[in-house]
Amino acid sequence: MATSVHASITDFSDLDNAGVSKEHWKIMFISGMGFFTDAYDLFIIGVVMALLFGRIADMLGRKRIYGVEVLVLAAGAIACAFSPNIWWLIGFRFILGIGIGGDYPVSATIMSEYAGKAHRGMLVTLVFAMQAAGLIVGPLLASALLTTSLGHDVIWRLLIAFGAAGARGLCGTAAAQGNSEVSEGSRA
């Protein structure tokens, strides 16, 4: 028994000390194609939704469409959290995706329209940086919830529902401001 344990340690040592071979590159390419496909599909879906929502926003008004897509996003996230089975979850995720897809073209456009020219680039960059913040907060929240005694069935529902918190806060902020427009004097 001790011999087999020692042999496996030697095998790991050999693997740890191995150089990069043709086989490593092949495995890296095959494994990496999953990530490539994910990123490609998300980007293409974003482009398609941008074309669709961008055109609708041009016709009906960006602010109105922004309010609608935020509500669709929030409703989709909350509905996902309460979905009774996988089929409902798939349907609600589709609705959530429509809301997210609508957010891409409209958010940056609204920021660029209401920012003065001296600060426009910085503010639009900060809008896009919020995506990175979400990529940090999501795993931190998931890690924190996984350390609790909550069941996994509750945790995934909380994580999805939390996605609506930002949209809900945005709706509350807009309502509190009475949808007031930015004064023309601040626009450049």
The model's pLDDT over 151-169, given as tens digits with 9 standing for 90+, comes to: 999 999 999 999 888 766 6
Q: How far is C-alpha 22 from the chain's CA centre? A: 35
141 in Cβ contact with 162 (< 8 Å):
yes
- Is 185 within a domain? no
- Is 70 within a domain? yes
- Tell me what pLDDT residue 177 has: 47
User: What 8-state DSSP symbol labels residue 115?
Assistant: S
* Residue 119 belongs to domain with CATH number: 1.20.1250.20
End-to-end CA distance of the chain: 77
Q: Please state the domain count of the chain.
A: 1
Residue 61, φ and ψ in degrees, nearest 5: 110, 130
- Tell me what pLDDT residue 10 has: 56
The total number of residues shown for the chain amounts to: 188
- Is 20 within a domain? no
Local confidence band at 145 (pLDDT 50, 70, 90 cut-offs): very high
pLDDT (mean) for 22-44: 84
pLDDT (mean) for 71-86: 93
- Tell me what pLDDT residue 171 has: 58
- Is 85 within a domain? yes
Q: Which of 116, 105, 107 is nearest to 183 (CA)?
A: 116
pLDDT (mean) for 94-107: 85
| Residue range(s) defining the domain that contains residue 51 | 43-180
Residue 27, φ and ψ in degrees, nearest 5: -65, -40
- Tell me what pLDDT residue 27 has: 86
- Is 27 within a domain? no
Local confidence band at 187 (pLDDT 50, 70, 90 cut-offs): very low
**Which is more confident, 133 or 147?**
147
- Is 186 within a domain? no
> What percentage of the chain exceeds 70 in pLDDT?
82
The predicted model scores a pTM of 0.69
pLDDT (mean) for 73-90: 94
80 in Cβ contact with 98 (< 8 Å):
no
User: Which pairs count as long-range contacts for 65-69, CB under 8 Å and 24+ apart, including other chains?
Assistant: 65/102, 65/106, 66/103, 66/106, 66/107, 66/110, 67/171, 67/174, 68/102, 69/98, 69/99, 69/102, 69/103, 69/106
- Tell me what pLDDT residue 143 has: 95
- Is 31 within a domain? no
Cα–Cα distance between 90 and 78 in angstroms, integer? 13
- Is 117 within a domain? yes
86 in Cβ contact with 102 (< 8 Å):
no
